[in-house]
Amino acid sequence: MRRSRYALGLAIAGDIGLIASLFVIAGSGSQRLILAAVFSIPLLIALNGLARGRIYTAAWASMASLFYLAYAMVEYIAGAGSLGVDLCLAASIALFTGTVVFAKWDARERGLTGKKRGND
């Protein structure tokens, strides 16, 4: 098994954990549940591309994960420290790390790294 698949598994686990944590943070308030559903739409789209192992999806999902990381930090600093916020923080870090490492290792395994050529 290629090493990049382990990073892809971490990214997929982080994506699923992030979706779950958004709904845990939302609780039972109807307006917050709608907000959690809207916030989870990009994650659901990314989940499809990550499950297929697409590097382009991993690239934009890594940038999107920084938004969710900022959201978790704001919730944590605002004093809403709970299990959902901790899970959101951990899942966004896992998603970011998994997507970045997957893109790097997959490019290396395919031989797509930017090596210098002789007399170009």
pTM of the model as a whole: 0.85
Using the CB atoms, write b or e for 33-65: b if 16+ within 10 Å.
Answer: eeebeebbebbeebbebbeebbbebbeebbebb
Write down the residue that tokens 């031989």 correspond to. 111
Query: What confidence tens digit (pLDDT) does each residue in 4-34 have?
Result: 889 999 999 999 999 999 999 888 778 889 9
| Residue 84 pLDDT grade (very low, low, confident, very high; cuts 50, 70, 90) | confident
Rg, the chain, Cα only: 16
Query: What confidence tens digit (pLDDT) does each residue in 26-72 have?
Result: 887 788 899 899 999 999 999 999 999 899 999 999 999 999 999 88
Domain extent listing, the chain: 4-108
Q: Which of 36, 39, 49 is nearest to 99 (CA)?
A: 49
Write down the residue that tokens 């704001």 correspond to. 74
Class of domain 4-108: mainly alpha
Instruction: Report d(CA 111, CA 68) in Å as an integer.
Output: 32
Task: Quickly count: other Cβ atoms within 10 Å of residue 93's Cβ.
Answer: 16
Q: Which of 5, 31, 100 is nearest to 61 (CA)?
A: 100
